[in-house]
Structure 1
Amino acid sequence: MFTPDVFTPHTFTPYQELDALLADLVREVRGILGDTFVGAYVQGSFALGAGDLHSDCDFVVVTTVPPRGAAEAGLRRLHDEIPTRPGHWAGELEGSYADACSLRDASGLGTPWLFCDHGHRELARDTHCNTLHTRWILRNHGIRLAGPPVADLVDAVDPEALRAGMRTMLPGLLDELRTWARFDLAWTQRYAVATYCRMLFTVRTGEVASKRGALEWARATLDPAWRPLLTQVIEDRERGWDPADPPRPGSMEAMYAFAAYVESLARGD
């Protein structure tokens, strides 16, 4: 059994409110999980140094065994209550409760973890966070809130496996996006372009970048003809998610053309 470190508030993100919420989360989760608690870590955009007020905060809590029974019920009550708290960040947490065995390496892919979806109050068992890119971020940049160094829990990720995974996912990205996002929103156009950049970055480098980092990389690296689109996506991030905000004229057409371009690069055409 690991002995978690004590979490010190106002240390890990640029936002004191978020740090305080993370401190509360760790304290309450440890109380619920007891000696099955291993550690808690921030991954995603904040771990990659790109988190801002338009980001959610991605976390992974590691356990000795998957939460069941009273522990699962306690976590469900906690995540039903957190979004009712005051402040911006209470509705911006997203993450999973991963047992240490299935988190260790790629052999655990496909194992559903208890998952808190951004903006939702009901936990589900899902593979959303059980990916190679989550493991890569945790291993290389994860922020330790409590517990052992994350390198003790997650093995190094094979860069060729990362590349292969992105090549497999790229052709179906827009179809997958249509299953949960509206294509009459400016947010969706920006999300799609940024995600294509992230996936191509991984194909090219065998590493993982934030959305902003991948967009900046693409703007500096790809054909200059795409710079206006990439600049628009970077600058429009400040518009945030607005269900009444339509895409800029011509921006969806540019997104579709960019998608085809990225897919051709990934294929080596």
Structure 2
Amino acid sequence: MLNPHPTRYAELNGVLHDLVTGAQAALGDSFVGAYLQGSFALGAGDVHSDCDFLVVVDQRPDAGQETALRALHRDLPHRDGFWNRHLEGSYAVAADLRTVRGLGRDWLYVDHGRDEMCWSDHCNQPWTRWILREHGITLLGPCPVELVDPVPDDVLRDRARAGLATLTDDILGWCPPHIAWCQRYLVVQAARSLHTVRTGEVASKRDALRWAMMHADPSWRPLLQQVLADRDLGLDPGAEPRPGSMAAARDFAAYVAALA
């Protein structure tokens, strides 16, 4: 039975109903289950979050199924409403999802708010399947623990540590440094990576910032508090970072990389 109340937002629940029933119609017997991961699974989803989903499929979608899924996601963002423009997720092949041996394989993916799909490993990462297994919200289908083996701590830690080496360049390569949201995103991702390196777990953005306030050098608390306070400003392409805050964000990312 389809979960009628997976989030506290009635409109989002309706969008998820349309997503799941549309995916079922497109996939037929290949549909295994549908789940929320990301911030909503971690209990931190709000109106500033995207809604991260995974639909698990028995086999890689064939040409007909892929065409139907692309039509579904081409339509969803153009319907009336708010949450239909804030979905992001992938169609995960069950065999790939089972163990870490399947990490990095491409799945059919739709980026936040987009109406065109692509093949990408964006959702096929250690932190995605850790959140799914440990905190995933079932929309329809078996419990996630039946689909995903435990993610070893060292896999999470090693991947987070490796990403820190190029974090600033990677983020600012697609997120311009003159946009305030990008300054906040860099700090958040550095804090989340440090949390994972230290704990072998994955935290929400807010929880990672709060954890870093307690465990990083106290001199970084003003920066972390600024990012936490400014989160409610959302993404405004015309809003510039606070004076000096982008340089501080770069320095924090370098500090975290050295510490990790």
**Would the TM-score normalized by the shorter structure come out above 0.5?**
yes
What is the rounded CA distance, in whole Å, between the counterparts of 1:190 and 1:26 in structure 2?
32
Residue 15 of structure 1, CA deviation: 0.7
Residue 54 of structure 1, CA deviation: 0.6
Residue 8 of structure 1, CA deviation: 3.3
Which residue identity does 1:208 align to in structure 2? Answer: V
Q: State which of 18, 34, 40 in structure 1 corresponds to 2:34.
A: 40
> How large is the Cα RMSD of the aligned pairs?
0.8
Structure 1 stretches of 4+ moved >2 Å = none
What is the rounded CA distance, in whole Å, between the counterparts of 2:192 and 2:104 in structure 1?
22
Superposition pairs for residues 211-222 of structure 1, below 5 Å? 211-222=205-216
Give the structure 1 partner of residue 167 of structure 2.
173
Which residue identity does 1:201 align to in structure 2? Answer: H
SS at structure 2 position matched to 1:209: coil
What is the rounded CA distance, in whole Å, between the counterparts of 1:120 and 1:46 in structure 2?
19
SS at structure 2 position matched to 1:60: strand
Q: Does the Cα contact within 8 Å between 2:172 and 2:182 map onto a contact in 1?
A: no
Superposition pairs for residues 50-129 of structure 1, below 5 Å? 50-129=44-123
Give the structure 2 partner of residue 160 of structure 1.
154
Per-residue CA deviations over 1:77-115 (Å, capped at 9, x if unaligned) read 000000001111011000000110001111111210000
Which residue identity does 1:37 align to in structure 2? Answer: F
Percent identity over paired residues? 54
Gaps of 5+ in 1: 1-5
TM-score (norm 1): 0.95
Please say if 1:194 is aligned against 2:182: no
Instruction: Work out the number of aligned pairs and report it.
Output: 260
Please say if 1:183 is aligned against 2:177: yes
Which residue identity does 1:142 align to in structure 2? Answer: G
Please say if 1:246 is aligned against 2:240: yes
Per-residue CA deviations over 1:224-260 (Å, capped at 9, x if unaligned) read 1111100000000111000100000010111111111
What is the rounded CA distance, in whole Å, between the counterparts of 1:170 and 1:147 in structure 2?
35
Q: State which of 143, 147, 168 in structure 2 corresponds to 1:149.
A: 143
SS at structure 2 position matched to 1:182: coil
Please say if 1:223 is aligned against 2:217: yes
- Which is further off, 237-246 or 214-223? 214-223
What is the rounded CA distance, in whole Å, between the counterparts of 2:191 and 2:3 in structure 1?
35
Which residue identity does 1:7 align to in structure 2? Answer: L
Per-residue CA deviations over 1:147-196 (Å, capped at 9, x if unaligned) read 00100000000001110111111011111112311110000000000000
What is the rounded CA distance, in whole Å, between the counterparts of 1:197 and 1:260 in structure 2?
11
Give the structure 1 partner of residue 202 of structure 2.
208
What is the rounded CA distance, in whole Å, between the counterparts of 1:59 and 1:119 in structure 2?
13
